[in-house]
Structures are given as C-alpha cells and as structure tokens.
Amino acid sequence: MDKFSVKGKTAVLTGAARGLGLEFADVLASAGANIAVLDVGSPGDSLDQLAAKHGVKAKFYKTDVTRRDEVVAAVAAIEADFGSVDINVNAAGIVKDEPFLSTSDINLSSTFSVNFVGSFLVAQACAQTMVRQHKKTANGSNGAATNEVTPINNTTAGSIVFIGSVASHVPTTVQNISVYCASKSAVRGLVKPLAMELAPYGIRVNSLSPGPMKTAMYQQVAAEQPSFARQVERETLFGRVGNPEELKGVVLFLCSSASSWMTGQDLLVDGGATSWNYPAA
C-alpha cells in the first residue's frame, strides 16, 4: 500500500480559497483525497479545476472560522456531504505589520481571532467528528452508546495539521509583527496537549512552520519594498524565499499514514533561517 496515498479520505482545509492553502488542497487531491474548503472568500473556479484535474470531489463552504456556530454547521455539512472527516489542515491566517508600541486593539483581536481561535474551533469540530467515527468503528455502534475508548493499534484514524510559522521560532528584522508571532506561537502551543488528548482515538496532531514563501502576497510586498525582499532572502541559508510547491510533500507526509508514528511535533521548513544568526537589516 502506498503510505502517501489518502485516496477516498476527506480533507477539511481552512484558508484554501487561494495561496498556500490552495496548494495544500492540490497536493492532497493529487493523492486521492476529496477536498472541503472553509474560507470567507470565494475560490472562484479553482476548486472545480482541482476536482477535474485529480478526479476527486471538491466543495466550498463559505465560513467565518472565528464563529463557532458557522464552523460547527460547516463541519456537519461536510460530514453529511462527504461521509467522513479524516484530515484537517488549518491554513487560514492574517498578518499586519504594525509596531508593538502602537499596536491597535483591532489588530490584536482580529489576528488572534483568525489565526488562533479559528484554528482551535475548526480543529475541535473536526476532532469531534473523527472521535465519533472512531467510536462507531471500534465499538460497532452508532458512536454514542458508550464513552469507552477502544485503543487503536497501527492505524491512523485522523490527522490534524496546524500551519504555524517560522515567526513563532525567530522574528525577522524587517517586519513588526509581534501579534502575528504570538498568535502562531499560540497555535504551536496546541500541538502537544492535543496530541496527548486525541492519541487514544488514533488522531495525530502536528504543525508545519514554513519560512518565508513566494506567495502572491509576498510578491506584491516585494515589488513595493525591494529592500524588504532582499533582507528576507538574506535570512535563509539558500539566499531565497521558498516556493509554495516546496511545502506540498511535507503536508502530504503529515496527512498520510507515512507519518503514522509521528504526533505532537512541529516541522520547520524554513530554508535554514533558524539554523544560524542571520545578518541584521
């Protein structure tokens, strides 16, 4: 069996209407997963193209991930539409460059709401569904008849992946993003306790912390601020930012049974930015 195959599984992704989230959806679809996307913005025809390209089912659910009622309703609809929830990748995130001494309440609230609360709520709703599925399979019932947990051996019942950031490990010298750094540190702080709590149900919990990536947003900022781009590139050992495609294999690894013995971990994919004392701006 191909351990990197996720054929027939349902992957719930946030922030996948565009950017890195859409790249993650693409690689999971290429490995056979059906794709459910939660986002506030429409993906246009991107999901239709993805579904046609890989021969999978893909559907968009307009959802504000900071609202519990919308998240619960969306995940319930996904379970009804797809039959299961097996993978959850939390990629929704926002960032604003704002000095700490003048950071606004709006920035503080909105950044933590999307980056941390949104990730928490979606992971919680997906985990609840995964647990119910596990109980149904393990106990041969409707999953509600008993609270007992049947241990899982050599089986991955579900995988939850939080998208963190290199910024939660080391700050960059060219951006004032203390709120963003803190929010991603909070996300990373969920990984180990959730891995411990969900292990009895066969659910693995890990995070991926990317370094600076050549997304559309990055390219726009780089065009407007060339000095910013030059410094960010200097901060990696390879003298460049990463390409979104370079994260695809890592995401697939974390979501598939190829990483069945891995939980509670954060994977840094940062071009070596955290491996040395890079030059200050």
Active-site annotation, residues: 180
DSSP class of 141: S
Can you tell me which residue has the tokens 């709703």?
Answer: 125
Evaluate whether 58 touches 78 at the Cβ level (below 8 Å): no
From residue 222, alpha-carbon distances to 219, 227, 230 in Å are 5, 8, 8
- Token pair 């859409």 is found at 22
Q: Which two tokens stand for residue 231?
A: 């410094």
Q: Which residues contact 60 (CB under 8 A, 6 or more apart)?
A: 17, 37, 39, 42, 43, 47
- 15 is written with which tokens? 């922030």
Residue 169 region by backbone torsions, left for phi larger than 0, else alpha for psi between -120 and 50, else beta: alpha
